[in-house]
Structure formats: structure tokens, C-alpha cells
Amino acid sequence: MNFPTDYIDKIICGNCLDVMKQMPDNSIDLAVTSPPYNLKNSTGNGMSENTKTGKWAGNPLQKGYSHFDDCMPHDKYAKWQNDCLREMYRLIKDDGVIFYNHKWRVQAGLLQDRQDILDDLPVRQIIIWKRKGGINFNPGYFLPTYEVIYMIPKKKFKLNPKANAVGDVWEFSQEMNNPHPAPYPVELIDRIIKSTKAQIIFDPFMGSGTTAVAAIKNKRNYIGIEISPEYCQMAEERIIKFISKKE
């Protein structure tokens, strides 16, 4: 594949690490993504492979992701995600930035705040995404109602003028009318893109195409990677539908 011809405004079906390693340094302006959360690797009484009853029964995530194991050993999962972030960091330009959405969890009675994933990456800010609702199976702590977005910039990154007046707690409802098991709202990505000058928007876990739709909405280019052929087709169809509505 040749960059940028075979990448710009395309969703590439494949393993994100393999594809990213084929892309040149300093080739994207903004990486914004939300990876699988490894939710089935649960030490509590939440979702697991054997959950047949209760609040998780029938939830789309109970079936897991297409073409992905969401029950990896934690050490393996953390290393994989760190490897992904380091590749993203290599790809962003000197004034580029990563917005990395993840979720703090309690495992074995202790908080996972994702420091083992972030390691020594240069996190500048943590943004709180306040969403409505949630599920809590454990009487040992309060219901989690937010996720976190790590801003990981290169040194020359700056927000657009006046974007720095926006607070660091964002309230957006989860997207409900989406067949993907874990979509996030277009409005969330829209805010991130509008806050930057980024022209090439990259998402290595494209899923149902939310990042691409937000990029098109803001007249920017996108590059997506998705391991699931099913989700690639879902995203392509969603993009075509969105473009046809705009026209």
C-alpha cells in the first residue's frame, strides 16, 4: 500500500498494529480512538464468558466483539494497548495529538487507572466524559458514570483559538441506535476535531465509523483501521448514508 493514496478517506481492514507499522512517521494530525476495554476479563461478578442471567444478559457486549478477544490476560492487554499508543505517537506530526478514550475499572478490589497502559507517554490532560447511566454489580463502590479521555500531544500541539475556554468535563449521552456493541457519540468526536486544526484524522479502532463521520462533518480527511470485516462494512455503509444525506 502507498501512503497517502491507499489510506486517505479509507477504512483498512486489518490488525491495527500491523497496518500502523506500514505508515510513515509524522503522517497524521490527530489520532482519536476508543479501543476494546477487555471487559470480559473481570474479577468481579460482572460480565464474563459464563454470564447467562442478570443485567449483562442480552447486552451486545456479552457476545463480545467481532474478530476480537475481549478477555485477554491483563498484562498482555496493557502491553498491546501501550504498543498501539506508541505507534500512534510515532505517526502524529510535531504539532499533533492523541485523544485516547478509556475506562477506569475496579479489578480485584483495586482501581485500574490505566497507568500501566500509558507508561511514560506524555499525558497533558485528562478529560472526563460524563455519560448517563451505567451498570454496577459490586456493593463496594459507587456506580461509575464517566469515562476518561487522555490528551497525549507532541510538544508543539495547541488548541484552536478559544477552544481552551471549554471545560475538561464533557457531558454527552451514549449512542443508543447503533448495532456496534460499544459505539461512542459523534458529538464527542465532533468537539475534539473542532478544537484542533487537524486535517488528517486517524482512528485505529474505527468500529462503526463514528470518527470518519465526524471528520467528514467537519470537512476533514480520515484514515481508519478495523480488524472486523463486519464492522468495516457497517462503517462503510454508515459513511455512504451520511454523505448522501449531506448532498
pLDDT tens digits, residue range 101-136?
999 988 888 999 999 999 999 999 999 999 877 777
Could you tell me the maximum CA-CA distance found in the chain, to the nearest angstrom?
53
Instruction: Indicate the residue type of 224.
Output: G
Question: If pLDDT is split at 50, 70 and 90, which confidence band does 41 have?
Answer: confident
Q: Which position has the higher pLDDT, 140 or 23?
A: 23
Nearest to 34 by CA among 106, 123, 99: 99
Is the Cβ–Cβ distance between 135 and 51 less than 8 Å?
Answer: no
E strand or H helix at 110, and its extent? strand 110-112
Is the Cβ–Cβ distance between 76 and 98 less than 8 Å?
Answer: no
- The pLDDT, as a whole number, for residue 137 is 74
Would strands 110-112 and 10-13 be described as parallel, antiparallel, or unpaired?
unpaired
- 217: Cα separation from own chain's centroid: 18
C-alpha to C-alpha distance for 126 and 168, rounded to whole angstroms: 7
- The pLDDT, as a whole number, for residue 49 is 54
Mean pLDDT across 45-67: 54
Helix (H, G, I), strand (E, B) or coil at 236: helix
Is the Cβ–Cβ distance between 128 and 170 less than 8 Å?
Answer: yes
Q: For the domain 10-246, what is the CATH code? A: 3.40.50.150
Radius of gyration of the chain (CA): 18
Q: Which position has the higher pLDDT, 183 or 201?
A: 201
Q: What is the pLDDT of residues 128-165, one digit of tens each?
A: 999 877 777 778 889 889 999 999 999 999 999 999 99
- The pLDDT, as a whole number, for residue 66 is 60
C-alpha to C-alpha distance for 127 and 139, rounded to whole angstroms: 27
Q: Let me know if 18 is exposed, middle or buried by CB neighbors in 10 A (0-12, 13-18, 19+).
A: exposed
pTM of the model: 0.89
